[in-house]
Amino acid sequence: MRIHLTSVFVDDQRKALRFYTEVLGFVKKVEVPVGEALWLTVVSPEDPDGTELLLEPSGHPAVKPYQTALVADGIPAASFAVDDVRAEYTRLRGLDVHFTQEPLEMGPVTTAVFDDTCGNLIQIVHTN
């Protein structure tokens, strides 16, 4: 068994697609109209056949309170592996990405957390 698909709820799919591709560097994998929304996924360019991230519309009534609670408590909705958190932090800060947690070493890992502009906090992590 392996993870095929995971998702983050986003308040604007087009805005999310721009952020996740143009800023974070993912590539669009699937875009299929589903009513007024899209089945819209991105993947890592390093693993185009790997796990897909669904940019899922946040229209369900339970999503907003859930997202608000996670953000208020500083809890990331997703975690992405990077080769070097400090280098990625510097690159993303140069693109005006807002971080809620600067790089922090915690034993064998270093993490940082940023706002994805679509309702989520996202963590980047690497093992030291």
Find the domain containing 18 and state its range.
Answer: 5-127
How many CB atoms neighbour CB 73 within 10 A? 8
How high is the mean pLDDT in each 10-residue block of the chain (128 residues)?
96 98 98 96 97 97 97 98 98 98 97 98 96
Number of domains in the chain: 1
CATH number at 102 reads 3.10.180.10
The radius of gyration of the chain from alpha carbons, rounded to an integer in Å, stands at: 15
pTM of the model: 0.95
Both tokens of 13, joined, read: 């799919």
